Amino acid sequence: MSDHLHQQEVTDRNNQTSVTVFVLLGFQGTQNIRILLFILFLVIYCVTICGNLLIITLVSYNKNLHSPMYFFLTQLSMNDILLTTDVVPNMFFILLNDKGYISFIGCIVQFYFFSASETSECLLLTVMSYDRYLAICHPLRYASIMNSAYCMKLAIISWMLSFSIILIDTITTSMLQFCGPNIIDHFFCDLVPLLEISCSDPTIVKLEVAVLSAPVVIIPCTIIIVSYVHILLTILRTPSNTVRQKAFSTCSSHLTVVSIFLGTLFGVYVLPTKGQSLNISKILSLIYTVVTPLINPIIYSLRNKDIKKALHKTIHKNIFCTNLVQ
C-alpha cells in the first residue's frame, strides 16, 4: 500500500469523511538519533519487565514477603507491565520507521488501556498510602483490619473502578468525529492530542473528564496527603529514634514513587499547556509511561531490606540446587 494511502485513509460515514488511520510522528530526528533512542528504550523496556516480574516472583515465593504492603506492590508491578507494554512496543516501530500508523480502533484501544492503567496506578498508590497509615498510626489494629480478604477486596475495587470509569471516557472519545488532519504529534494515542485534531466539539468530553477526575485524581490525592500528614505527626511524636528510622524507611520508597508519578501527571494535564513545546510534553509523558514503571521496582528493591534479603536467599537457594544437581 502506498504511503499516500497510509497518510489519509478515509471512508464515508453519515455523509462525512471520517479518518480511519492515524499517523503517529513520535520523536523526530535523524536516523542515528532514532536508532540510539530505540536502543535506549529497548534496554529500559527489558529492565522494566524483568524488574517488575522479579518483584512479583519474589513476593509470591517468599513467605516473609506475604504481607499487605508487598501484596499491593505486586499489583503495582503488574500494572506497570501493562502500562509500559501498551505504549512502548508501538513506539519501537515509530522510531525505526520515522513515523507509525495506527487504526482508529487501535488508537482507541491503546488510549483505553493507557488511561485505565494510569488510573489504577493512582488508586493502588492510594491504597498503599492507606496501608502505611494503618501500619504506623494504628499498629495494634493493623493486622485485624488489613487481612488477606480485605487486601484482595481493595485490589479488586481498584482494578474494576479504574477500568469501569475509563470505559465511560473512552466511549465518549470514540464518538468524536475525526474528519481533518490524521497526524498526531505524539508517540501514543493520548486524550489531549486526540481532542486537538478532532473536528467535533470536545466540550462534552472535557466536562466528562473534569467530573471523572474527582474519583480518580482529586479524592486519591487527598487521601494520600491526609495519610502522610497523620504518618508524619505520628512519627514525630515517637520517642524512639529506631522506630522513627524504621517508619521513615517503610514510607520513603512509596512517597518517592507517588511524588514522581503525580508530579509528572500534574505537569502534563493540569499546568497550562500554552507556551509548552510539544517536545517538553512528550518528555513528561515519557516519565510516567516509561520511566516510572522502570524506577518503581528499582526504588522498592534498592531501598527495601526485605526485598534484598529475599533476592539473596533466592539466588543462594538456586545456586545450592544447581550444585546438588551437578
Quick one: pLDDT at residue 14? 44
Give the Cα separation of 188 and 22 in Å (integer). Answer: 10
Give the Cα separation of 111 and 188 in Å (integer). Answer: 8
Quick one: pLDDT at residue 269? 63
List of residues 6+ apart from 137 with CB closer than 8 A: 230, 231, 234
Give the Cα separation of 251 and 235 in Å (integer). Answer: 11
In the chain (326 residues long), the average pLDDT of successive 10-residue segments reads 44 55 86 91 94 90 86 93 94 89 93 93 93 91 93 95 92 87 89 87 87 83 91 85 75 82 71 58 83 85 71 67 55
Residue 270 phi/psi, 5° resolution? -105, -45
Quick one: pLDDT at residue 61? 85
Q: In what order do the strands lie in the sheet with 100-103?
A: 100-103, 21-24, 183-184
Quick one: pLDDT at residue 2? 43
91 CB burial (10 A radius; 0-12, 13-18, 19+): buried
Quick one: pLDDT at residue 4? 45
Please choose, from the candidates 262, 250, 253, 246, the residue with its C-alpha nearest in 3D space to the C-alpha of residue 300: 253
E-strand stretches of the chain: 10-13, 16-19, 21-24, 100-103, 183-184
DSSP-derived secondary structure letter, 238: -
The CATH number of the domain covering residues in 3-325? 1.20.1070.10
Please choose, from the candidates 182, 133, 218, the residue with its C-alpha nearest in 3D space to the C-alpha of residue 19: 182
